[in-house]
Amino acid sequence: MTLIEWRNEFSLGIPSVDHEHRELIELINTTHARLRAGAQHAEVEDFLGEIFARISAHFALEERTMLLLGYLEYWGHKADHERLLDQLRDIMEDFETSDALDVDALSTRLDDWFTIHFRTFDARLHQRVH
């Protein structure tokens, strides 16, 4: 089962950004499927690490673009990015200490967050950029 289905409303009409967003969704879906299939502790750590790294890199790129533009909504947009990164850090820390990972909770969080963020903050940013 695919966790996040790409929907037309996610498309911002900028090929490079849409491409990155599609790649993030694909990574989340692949990770979700592997976690669901049962993975060893070290593998789960790798998956979480990769998700965190790729998402952070995408956010950093958007934040650099906003700074260069003197974009007014920079702080609000960045705060929403930080909110997800903080949640992911908490999930990773919990996993380190308890070895327990609630796959469904993680998936739902990512799904909800991206679906809303694409349609709001990212849509407004990319309307401004192009």
Judged by the rule CB under 5 A, the positions of this chain that interact with Fe ion are 62, 121-122
Count of Cβ atoms closer than 10 Å to residue 114 Cβ:
19
**Nearer of residues 87 and 103 to Fe ion, judged by Cβ:** 87
> Which tokens is 78 given?
């960045």
**Nearer of residues 41 and 53 to Fe ion, judged by Cβ:** 53
- Shortest distance (Å) from residue 127 CB to Fe ion: 13
- Shortest distance (Å) from residue 50 CB to Fe ion: 17
- Shortest distance (Å) from residue 47 CB to Fe ion: 21
Q: Which residue is nearest to Fe ion (CB)?
A: 122
CB 103 within 8 A of CB 55: no
**Nearer of residues 27 and 39 to Fe ion, judged by Cβ:** 27
How far from the centroid of its chain's Cα atoms is residue 86's Cα? Answer: 12
**Nearer of residues 47 and 62 to Fe ion, judged by Cβ:** 62
> Which tokens is 46 given?
């790798």
Q: Quick one: which of 62, 69, 78, 74 has its CA closest to 20?
A: 62
The three-class DSSP label of residue 122 is: helix
- Shortest distance (Å) from residue 81 CB to Fe ion: 6
